[in-house]
A = this chain, B = another copy of it.
């Protein structure tokens, strides 16, 4: 049953499932470092670094990001996360607007290289938004993290000195590091997981239906990026976010353009690399493990070609991974080759949109009703305000009280109290001064 749902691009889930999703996402949005710090520590928690302590991030970064909460998998070394640079990713709120953001911080970055980052940011900001690319919002270089940590370690060591247990080794480590962090600000997608966490921790091979959904979305994103004369450079299980209903989004776009550009390679080379990486990713997903990438020709022959997969999928992987006779295909060639699958996924996307619309239609009036009921409730029955005529049982607000009684105090034919939500909704629908 569940397998069938996962394979069916038209499966939308239940009403209750949707509500659970949103509550999970809301919980993720509200999560703070302190919540994570309160959780029971890992088995090797004793050797915990200073960074992962709940209050080791500054309360405010760049003057507007606050409530930073580390999202990284703490069991991995920082250096393994991004091209050898120590990186961290935080969820943060912003003083200027409502949504949460993901702050990706790269340490050990020479601030003199900031021009490279700036030009990468500019190019990526000009790219129109795409539903399968996590939007990039800002990039800045900051010393906030280091200043905060240095101050903190200073005060810690001073306290420890006064306790007679000085550990001066801490301070040089921090101070010897270069003082700058580069921070890229992306949209935060609540409760999304990396493809690595979803599929490469022993979950087994991915079903073909899901695979096509991933492939089509990634190809659309690459098509969009390549058409703008850029390359994604993030087709990697650790950089692709998966969320509900198999939606995928390319994360961290532009970051590598800011950190490491090999002048001997053209954009075309990087674009080709995107497609080869896609081929490797599809192969690994179909086989269910990243280990098969160690010897691709052997995997293709002995595992992939013997799996029960459609001809189209096999051809796609061959097209992406083999050395072509002529020119290596462009992403447009790939999109053309899988146009039938794109059409199917478009049908699924239309269907999901229709389902969301149906759900929304059911809920659309409720916000107004809540505001209206809150206003009525706040006006009536305030005996403490009785000295003011307006609030008294004879004043203007008394009419509202009568309406409130009419709304809620219905009785059946034997004068027993009844609860009639239909009557309440119907009566409130006729009130026009709600918003």
Residues of A with Cβ closer than 8 Å to B?
Answer: 10, 18-19, 22, 25, 129-132, 216-217, 219-220, 223-224, 247, 332, 335-336, 339-340, 342-343, 345-347, 349-354, 356-357, 359-364, 366-367, 369-371, 373-375, 377-378, 381-382, 384-385, 391, 404-405, 407-411, 415, 417-419, 421, 424-425
With A223-B343, A350-B349, A356-B353 known as contacts, the answer to whether A404 contacts B377 (CB < 8 A) is yes
Chain A interface mostly: helix
What distance in Å separates the Cβ of A342 from its nearest Cβ neighbour in chain B? 6
**Pairwise interchain contact A378-B417, C-beta atoms closer than 8 A:** yes
Which B residues lie within 8 Å of A129 (CB)? 10
Which B residues lie within 8 Å of A408 (CB)? 374, 377-378
Identify which of A347, A356, A415 gathers the most chain B CB atoms within 10 Å of its CB: A347
Besides A216-B346, A366-B370, 11 other A-B contacts (C-beta < 8 A): A22-B364, A131-B354, A224-B347, A335-B340, A336-B339, A359-B360, A363-B364, A377-B377, A377-B408, A378-B410, A382-B409
What distance in Å separates the Cβ of A129 from its nearest Cβ neighbour in chain B? 8
**Pairwise interchain contact B356-A419, C-beta atoms closer than 8 A:** no
Which B residues lie within 8 Å of A10 (CB)? 129
**Pairwise interchain contact A375-B419, C-beta atoms closer than 8 A:** yes
**Pairwise interchain contact B363-A132, C-beta atoms closer than 8 A:** no
**Pairwise interchain contact B417-A382, C-beta atoms closer than 8 A:** yes
CA distance A332 to B344 in the complex (A): 12
Which B residues lie within 8 Å of A346 (CB)? 216, 220, 342, 345-346, 349
What distance in Å separates the Cβ of A107 from its nearest Cβ neighbour in chain B? 33
Which B residues lie within 8 Å of A367 (CB)? 362-363, 366
**Pairwise interchain contact B342-A378, C-beta atoms closer than 8 A:** no
**Pairwise interchain contact B382-A131, C-beta atoms closer than 8 A:** no
CA distance A78 to B357 in the complex (A): 34
**Pairwise interchain contact A384-B409, C-beta atoms closer than 8 A:** yes
What distance in Å separates the Cβ of A424 from its nearest Cβ neighbour in chain B? 5
A339: contacting residue among B342, B360, B419, CB under 8 A: B342
Which B residues lie within 8 Å of A418 (CB)? 378
5 closest Cβ pairs, A-B complex: A339-B339, A366-B366, A356-B356, A131-B350, A377-B408
Query: Which single residue of chain B is at the shortest CB-CB distance from A217?
Result: B350
**Pairwise interchain contact B335-A378, C-beta atoms closer than 8 A:** no
What distance in Å separates the Cβ of A157 from its nearest Cβ neighbour in chain B? 41
A419: contacting residue among B220, B378, B410, CB under 8 A: B378
With A343-B342, A374-B408 known as contacts, the answer to whether A360 contacts B356 (CB < 8 A) is yes
CA distance A350 to B219 in the complex (A): 14
**Pairwise interchain contact B18-A364, C-beta atoms closer than 8 A:** yes
What distance in Å separates the Cβ of A372 from its nearest Cβ neighbour in chain B? 9
**Pairwise interchain contact B19-A364, C-beta atoms closer than 8 A:** yes
What distance in Å separates the Cβ of A83 from its nearest Cβ neighbour in chain B? 29
**Pairwise interchain contact B347-A220, C-beta atoms closer than 8 A:** yes
What distance in Å separates the Cβ of A353 from its nearest Cβ neighbour in chain B? 4
A349: contacting residue among B349, B360, B410, B415, CB under 8 A: B349
Which B residues lie within 8 Å of A404 (CB)? 377
Which B residues lie within 8 Å of A22 (CB)? 360-361, 364
Which B residues lie within 8 Å of A247 (CB)? 350
CA distance A415 to B384 in the complex (A): 9
Which B residues lie within 8 Å of A336 (CB)? 336, 339-340
CA distance A346 to B363 in the complex (A): 26
A407: contacting residue among B362, B377, B382, CB under 8 A: B377
CA distance A371 to B424 in the complex (A): 10
CA distance A340 to B220 in the complex (A): 10
Query: Which single residue of chain B is at the shortest CB-CB distance from A369?
Result: B370
Which B residues lie within 8 Å of A131 (CB)? 347, 350-351, 354
**Pairwise interchain contact B364-A220, C-beta atoms closer than 8 A:** no
Which B residues lie within 8 Å of A361 (CB)? 22, 25
Can you offer 28 A-B residue contacts whose CB atoms are under 8 A?
A10-B129, A130-B347, A132-B350, A219-B343, A220-B347, A223-B343, A247-B350, A335-B339, A335-B340, A335-B343, A336-B340, A342-B342, A345-B346, A346-B349, A349-B349, A349-B350, A360-B360, A362-B367, A366-B366, A369-B370, A370-B373, A370-B425, A373-B374, A374-B408, A378-B418, A381-B409, A384-B409, A385-B417
